[in-house]
Chains A and B, each alone.
Chain A
Amino acid sequence: MTLVIGSFTIGLILSLLSIGVFISFRILRFCDITVDGTITLGASVAAVLLVQGHAPWVATLAATAAGALAGFVTGILHTRFRIQEILSGILVMTALYSVNLRVMGRSNVPLLDTRDIAAPLAGVLATLVEDGEALHLAGWRVPVQDMAMLLTAFLVTAAVAWLLHRFLLTQFGTAMRATGENPQMVRAQGINNQNMLVFGLACSNGLVGMAGALLAQYQGFADVQMGIGMIVWGLASIIIGEALVGKTGVGLAIVGAMMGTVLFRLLVAIALRWGLDPNDLKLVTAAFVFAALVLPRYGKQLVRKMLGGRHYA
Chain B
Amino acid sequence: MLKIRNLAKTFFPGTANEVTALRDIDLDIEDGCFAAIIGTNGSGKSTLLNAVAGAFQADAGSIELAGVDITGQPEYRRAGQIGRVFQNPFAGTAAGMSIAENIVLAMRRGQRQGLRRAVSRKAREEIRARVRTLNMGLEDRLDNPIGTLSGGQRQALTLLMATWQRPKLLLLDEHTAALDPKSAAQVAALTKEIIERENLTALMVTHSMQQAVQLPDHIVMMHQGRIIEQYGAQRKASVRVADLLNAFDRVRRRDLLDPDVAALLARQYA
Contact = CB atoms under 8 A, between A and B. Distances in A.
Contact of A169 (B83, B91, B119): B119
Contacts of B94: 177-178, 181-182, 185-186
Contacts of B102: 178, 185
B79 interface: yes
A290 interface: no
Nearest to B84: A188
A186 B91 CA distance: 10
A279 interface: no
A192 interface: yes
A74 interface: no
B46 interface: no
A247 to B, nearest CB: 9
B122 to A, nearest CB: 13
Interface in A164-180: 167, 169-175, 177-178
Contacts of B119: 169, 174
A171 B105 CA distance: 7
Among B93, B113, B114, chain A packs the most CB atoms within 10 A around the CB of B113
Given A174-B101, A175-B105, A191-B76, A182 B115 contact: no
A184 interface: yes
A171 B108 contact: yes
B77 interface: yes
A187 B76 contact: yes
B110 A190 contact: yes
Given A182-B95, A190-B79, A174 B115 contact: no
SS class of chain B's interface: helix, strand, loop or mixed? Answer: loop
A189 interface: yes
B109 A190 contact: yes
Given A189-B105, A190-B110, A174 B79 contact: no
A170 to B, nearest CB: 5
A249 to B, nearest CB: 9
Interface residues on A, range: 20 to 34
B239 to A, nearest CB: 31
Nearest to B147: A181
B248 interface: no
Given A181-B94, A182-B95, A188 B79 contact: yes
B79 A187 contact: yes
A193 interface: yes
A177 B97 contact: yes
A171 B95 contact: no
A306 B76 CA distance: 49
A174 B96 contact: no
B86 interface: yes
Interface in B62-113: 74-77, 79-80, 83-84, 86, 91-97, 101-102, 104-106, 108-111, 113
A192 B95 CA distance: 19
A26 to B, nearest CB: 10
B157 to A, nearest CB: 11
B109 A170 contact: no
A175 B101 CA distance: 9
A186 B108 CA distance: 11
A187 B86 CA distance: 13
A203 B199 CA distance: 43
B253 interface: no
Contacts of A189: 79, 105-106, 108-109, 161
A187 B115 CA distance: 19
Given A169-B119, A175-B105, A185 B110 contact: no
Interface in A233-252: none
Given A175-B105, A178-B94, A182-B93, A187 B75 contact: yes
A192 B73 CA distance: 12
Nearest to B74: A192
B267 interface: no
6 contacts: A173-B118, A174-B101, A177-B96, A189-B105, A189-B108, A190-B111
7 nearest interchain CB pairs? A181-B94, A190-B79, A174-B118, A171-B113, A178-B94, A190-B80, A190-B110
